[in-house]
Amino acid sequence: MTNIDYYKKIEIENNSLKKEIIFLKERLFKIESGKIWRLLKIYFNLRDKIFAFLPFFLKNNSKIFFEKTKRNNQYTLLEIKIKKEIKKLKKEHYLPIVTNNFLKEKINNHFYGGNEKYIIYLLRLMNKINKKGIVFQFSKNFFKKTIFNDNIVIGVGIDSDHFYEGTKIIQRLVTENFNFCIYSPYQMKFNPEGFSIGISHGLYNDFPGNYQNWIDNNKFYLEKIMNHNIIVSVDTATLNWLRALNFYAFMKCIYIPNFVDLDYFNFKPGKDKKENIILFPRSLYEPRGIEIFLEAINNFLIKNKNYKIYLCGEKVDKRIFNKINSFKKRFYNNLFVKKFSFEKIRDIYKKSKIVVVPSLHSEGTSLSLLEAMSCGCVPIATWVGGLTDIIINNYNGLLIKPTAEEIFEALKNLVNNDKKYKKMQKNAKETVREFSLKFWEKKWLKILKESLKISN
């Protein structure tokens, strides 16, 4: 074979291979363009990413994943358990209340705050119309307890750290089993399903730093209000805020200020004697103004060592309680920390000359303020929330800015002016008559009866 023939043969073979390559490329392009190939590519990409991420996931997130799965299983079991308890009841005889805290788990006793007292009086009112109350509350462990007049409290076994899941589950159980429900506070309702009354115990979004998320905060509270058919507000500050924000939501509201049992919390000048006692009858945590109160008292006691200070409230904040203990070491003869039951606190009200309610935010029409005034205490309160619904400055008490300096000046003003003190004491007792428990019961009875008719 000559060289020319050999090169021609090679050229023919090359041309044949080129055609075959072109043909194979076209086939490969068709395959890659097809759906099956695209799905395979997605699968292999995902597989590679999963295998690349899996060691990191197992190391960092598996605990969170399995804890969430475990918690969801626990929620299912708790729902089954609560449903069994509800099935045992004659449901038509019960009215449900949903709240965050009411009874303590380990002891058969309730927390000593305004919301808890409000619920107790609501339960008594339900009993007057031949209904029993069933209270659903957050709790670390599941429990069921029977309290006075056969009212029932169920701790759902979900704590307030899981507010979203908890409110969702509680509402589902309530809506499935009862015609209507009371939510105290109103934020406890998850969505608009089911007829309900929400209770506003005061403004919740007037806290320091609220300007940073003002729109989101307003949106959250407004959505919660819109979940209800009726909103009962204990103060006008909430109503004025809501009216400016959304008129339609405002029209859902009914104003029922807090109350005082005038027969029980009663001061008789000839019989009951006042002592040099200044009373702080609030929960011991930041929103109630305990820190500015201690600062004011520190300055006051230096010149008025004949006065005693009583802190009578639930211990909520450990940091603040440590601060109180440090304060007690300096004024061990003057400062007393004592928690009274709702009934026995009347004794310290009757002995005290002055009651101080220096709330910083999240305040309604304080029950303890009304009770103290009814027992002859002259009030010093900040112009926060619903406190301005109770006190007229220099008439039945002193309204001040929430600062230690103003508390101190107000205390000096009352201690050094006996004529002014007696005038305010008399006017304070007269004022609280308009906050009588009987008025409160009459308004609430009307709402309960009308709601029962509508929901049925």
Query: Which amino acid, residue 44?
Result: F
pLDDT at 416: 92
Residue range 180-212, pLDDT digits in tens: 999 999 999 989 999 999 999 998 888 787 767
Q: Cα dist. 225→213, 218, 252, 307, 331 in Å? A: 18, 11, 9, 45, 45
Please identify which residue in the block is written with the tokens 């619904």.
389
Same domain, 204 and 294: no
Rounded percentage of the chain residues whose pLDDT exceeds 70: 86
Whole-prediction pTM: 0.82
Residue range 305-348, pLDDT digits in tens: 999 999 998 777 788 888 888 888 889 899 999 888 888 899 99
Q: Report which secondary-structure segment, H or E, holds 236.
A: helix 236-245
User: Structurally, how many domains does the chain consist of?
Assistant: 3
Same domain, 100 and 194: yes
Same domain, 104 and 217: yes
Cis-peptide into 185, omega within 30 deg: yes
| CATH code where residue 243 lies | 3.40.50.2000
326 lies in some domain: yes
Residue 350: closest CA among 398, 281, 413, 407: 281
pLDDT at 159: 82
Same domain, 213 and 104: yes
Checking if the pLDDT of 8 tops 70, the result is no
pLDDT at 314: 78
pLDDT at 27: 73
- Going by pLDDT thresholds of 50, 70 and 90, the confidence category of residue 79 is confident
Same domain, 376 and 418: yes
Same domain, 250 and 287: no
Same domain, 248 and 302: no
54 lies in some domain: no
Top mean pLDDT of 11-20, 268-277, 322-331, 400-409 is at: 400-409
What CA–CA distance (Å, rounded) separates 229 from 254?
A: 11
Residue 244: CB atoms within 10 Å:
9
pLDDT at 336: 93
Better pLDDT: 309 or 10: 309
Q: Across the chain, what does the average pLDDT equal? A: 87
Whether residue 123 contacts residue 143, with contact meaning beta carbons closer than 8 Å, is answered with no
193 lies in some domain: yes
Mean pLDDT of the 148-156 span = 93
Pick from 220, 255, 290: which residue ends a domain?
A: 255
201 lies in some domain: yes
pLDDT at 52: 57
221 lies in some domain: yes
Q: Report which secondary-structure segment, H or E, holds 52.
A: helix 35-60
Residue range 39-77, pLDDT digits in tens: 777 776 776 666 555 555 555 554 544 455 556 677 788
Q: Which 3 state secondary structure label does DSSP give 322?
A: helix
260 lies in some domain: no
pLDDT at 341: 83
Same domain, 369 and 408: yes
Residue range 215-272, pLDDT digits in tens: 888 899 999 999 999 999 999 999 999 999 999 999 999 999 999 999 999 988 778 8
Same domain, 286 and 249: no
Same domain, 95 and 186: yes
Checking if the pLDDT of 406 tops 70, the result is yes
Residue 310: which domain range?
Answer: 277-435
37 lies in some domain: no
pLDDT at 66: 47
Same domain, 291 and 401: yes
Residue 135: closest CA among 126, 127, 125, 123: 123
Looking at the DSSP bridge assignments, the partners of residue 144 are 154
52 lies in some domain: no
Q: Cα dist. 363→126, 201, 202 in Å? A: 26, 7, 5
Same domain, 322 and 397: yes
Whether residue 235 contacts residue 385, with contact meaning beta carbons closer than 8 Å, is answered with yes
